[in-house]
Every structure is written in C-alpha cells, then in structure tokens.
Amino acid sequence: MSEQQSSTQVGIIVVAHADYGSAMLRTAEFILGTLSDCTSISVDIAQEVPETVRRLDDAAQRLDKGAGVIILTDMFGGTPTNLALSLLGSHNVEVVTGVNLPMLLKVFTCREKPLAELAKLAGEAGTKGIVVAGNLIRRCNAGAGIAVFNSRAPRVSDNRIEAPFANPTAAGRIDLGERLDLSVEKISP
C-alpha cells in the first residue's frame, strides 16, 4: 500500500487487536485496489504499550498531510481505542470505534471530506452495515412489499438480488448497493 497521494485526503490508521487491522486493510485493497496513506497497528502482548503508542504517534505524524487522520479501532473500551485516544490532544485526529468493512470502505471512498464529517460518515456506515439478515428477510417476506430471495441459490446482478423471489407480489427488490451505500458508482474512482 503506497503512502503517496493527494494532500487533501485524510490519512487512515486501523488500530486493533492482533492482525485484525492488517486483514481489514488487505480486504479493502482487494475490493478497491491499491490504497494509499493508510496503515494498521496491531496491539498484542508481544509489544510493550509505550512502543505501540510510539508507533501510533509516528503513523499519525506521517499520514497527516494536512487533512488530519482518522483512527479506526476495533472496540470502544479496548486497549487499541484507549491508546488511540491518547493522540486526541496532540494530533489532528478523530477516533471511531467498532471498525467493520462497510465503515472502512466508506472512509476510503470519502476521504476527501473534512475529518469531522468523515468520522460521522464512518460511524453511520459501520452501523448501517450491521444487519441481522434473517430478520430482514423474514420481515420482507411477511409482506413489507420488498421481494427477497429464499434459501435456494439467489442470483446477484449489478448489486441487486434478482431471483428467486420468495414474495412474488412484492412491489420492489432489495438493492444491496443502496443498503450499504457501496454501489459501483459510489466506489469507483
């Protein structure tokens, strides 16, 4: 992942237990292509806390090209978050907890936004990306007016579930791109 890009972009740091952060960045890169101005920092028993804080501080300085840095952590109250919060007074950073893939993709595709706005969008995307799919399907199939696939081989085309439908009288379909706000038009450069 390269670290050279436009100075108007917010830098991104994923701080998480073990290898979760690096796996998240690899997954985002698989979906979006080459990523820049980002890094992950693992928090585990192999690293002393002062060393981890030093690495986090160095990354924040290196990745802030003028627009600030968003730090995404795995869970509120955990060591990664607590360490990240220590930078709030000394760096232009915002910390958002509960990182998941929809949140991370939103951050990468909207990083030209101001830091505070990007943090708000990240939180919204992370929350919106958490779905109890079975409940959604049961609610839609109960007559909510949206056709949803049944358990037999759904077909997805252009981010839409096409077939088979469990509710043939439904007025619409679930649009996966709208649900996660990650349609091709919104993530393409």
DSSP 34-55: S-BSEEEEEE-TTS-HHHHHHH
pLDDT bucket at 183, cuts 50 / 70 / 90: very low
Output the CA–CA distances (angstroms, integers) from residue 29 to 69, 123, 143, 144, in the order listed.
Answer: 19, 20, 39, 36
Beta strand 172-173 with 146-147 is parallel
- Percentage of residues in the chain with pLDDT exceeding 70? 70
Q: Can you give the pLDDT at residue 158?
A: 54
Q: 115: closest CA among 89, 87, 96, 90?
A: 96
pLDDT digits (tens, 9 = 90+) for 71-86: 999 999 999 999 999 9
Q: Can you give the pLDDT at residue 154?
A: 56
pLDDT digits (tens, 9 = 90+) for 92-147: 999 999 999 999 999 999 999 999 999 999 999 999 999 988 887 777 666 544 44
